[in-house]
Structure 1
Amino acid sequence: MKIEDIMQILQEQMKVAIFATVDEDNKPHARHAHIGVANENGVFFMTHPKTNFYKQLQNNPHVAITAMSEDGYLIQVIRIEGKIREVGRERLEEILQDNPYVKHVYPNKSERQGSQVFQLYEGEGFYHSMTQGHRYVFQIEAK
């Protein structure tokens, strides 16, 4: 399975993942976040600078992401561990496009516009079809 196929599953079928970070005391934190864009250049997501999530990303660029989908017999899991970087607001419109969750998380449009985009640009991922037994390891190495 190609990385493009795995990222398409993550973005289109799973849509929301659990992101794990650590705070300044190395205490773990996990939260659900929407996958804005996922492709061979990595995983793009957003958060607002007022959140603890944002502060944790600023303090430590290492994250773990995991997501799962279940559709009848097919159960798929994707896990990625890697490094993130803030890419600013340039990609915000792309991430907000067709994003049904944004209106609920950030109902105020001005707050939405204040959000920052992050990219998981380097790391190792693992795809597992739990019911079919398929397992694939993949690398993310974006420029």
Structure 2
Amino acid sequence: HSSGLIKGLGFKAGAIAQTIAHDTHNLIVAGWNKEDMRIAVERVIRLQGGIVVVDDGKIVSEIELKLAGLMSIKEPDEVFREYLDMVNTLRTRFQLDFESFFMTLALVSLPVIPDLRITDKGLVDVVKGRLVPLVVEVSRR
């Protein structure tokens, strides 16, 4: 488990959690509200993988991905309906483009592309090949 701060996602819901997070595909969550983040993570765990959007304590959209947290065992048309529901929910309710947000969140954990990435070991400076602290002390003289 590790934590990081990310800006510029344009995300306005309480939380989104997903098990598509390259390369390890650990569960990753982004959000504004700790309680919504907890609910999203718990729901993804209960689904045995997937993508879950939570706002104001309620699950507003989800895609179940039980096969390794990457693929569904449902019929393709059912998965497509879940996908369309999520795309439409994010667009209409939160003014968010699903594909760009989803890929950003999925790639923020990929520790082979510069610059900073979040991994299960912590925040990584990919260029320098080292872990960096999330919070840095600044001494004032």
Q: Give the TM-score, by structure 2 length.
A: 0.25
Larger Rg: 2
Q: Which has the higher contact order (CA 8 A, sep 6+)?
A: 1
